[in-house]
Amino acid sequence: MNKSQLRKIAVFAAMLCLGQLAVADDSEGPTAIINFQDLSTGFVPCPGCDPTGDLAGVGPTYSSRSYTFSYTPAPGEPFPVGFAVAGPFWPFNDGTKALAINSDNGSATLKRDDGRSFALAAIDLAELNGPSELPTIVLFQGMTASGALVSSEFTLDNQTGFQRFHFPDGFKDLLYVQWQQGNNVTNNVHMFDNVVVVATQFRPRED
């Protein structure tokens, strides 16, 4: 996805909280696009090198732009390895970097670091290991500050490369969002990138 498209997404996302900007005190601005570009696999391409080596563990958490992704293994998971980053040479990537929940049925939870609410506007999703006989379906579930539960399910196109998905209006005023990795039995595994979040609650100004 090019920079022009991402700028358009950021402008769209910022409109979600336009009415609150006058009282905002957020040094990084209300809208953030989390793209994992600070991560590295250490892979160096070379003639004959296997590009599937462009994958590396990240650990149980990843933080950026005042948000944190937390990994939770499935119950009974014997190898709770956390997240992994797929680098730009990963065969099923688009030349970018992406994060993946690195165990079957593991889950990711996204929260703001200060515990305040946010909106989830959009996300890029791709099949981690490319096209498969299995469908790739990702269910996102969140809880709002009022205690309401929201959900949205996305089905990928079974093609190599990322698709952009936009969340419905209900994904505002969220305290957290959680989603699960596929099980590799009935549901294919995925990776994600360009997570567009919008802060919808701010610290009061200090005059």
Is residue 137 a part of any domain in this protein? Answer: yes
- As beta bridge partners, residue 197 has 32, 120
| In a domain? residue 192 | yes
Residue 206 lies in a domain: no
Read off φ and ψ for residue 158, nearest 5 degrees.
60, 40
Domain of 94, in residue numbers = 3-42+51-199
Residue 179 included in any domain: yes
Per-position pLDDT tens, the chain of length 207: 554 455 544 444 444 443 333 233 333 469 999 999 999 999 999 999 999 999 999 999 999 999 999 999 999 999 999 999 999 999 999 899 999 999 999 999 999 999 999 999 999 999 999 999 999 999 999 999 999 999 999 999 999 999 999 999 999 999 999 999 999 999 999 999 999 999 987 665 455
Residue 57 lies in a domain: yes
Q: How far apart are the first and last CA of the chain?
A: 40
146 domain residue, yes or no? yes
3-state secondary structure of 160: coil
207 inside domain: no
Closest CA to 58 of 40, 45, 76, 32: 40
Contact 200, 173 (CB under 8 A): yes
Question: Is residue 204 in some structural domain?
Answer: no
Provide the number of structural domains found in the chain: 1
Residue 189 CB neighbours (<10 A) = 22
CATH of the domain at 80: 2.60.120
Q: Are 199 and 120 in contact (CB under 8 A)?
A: no
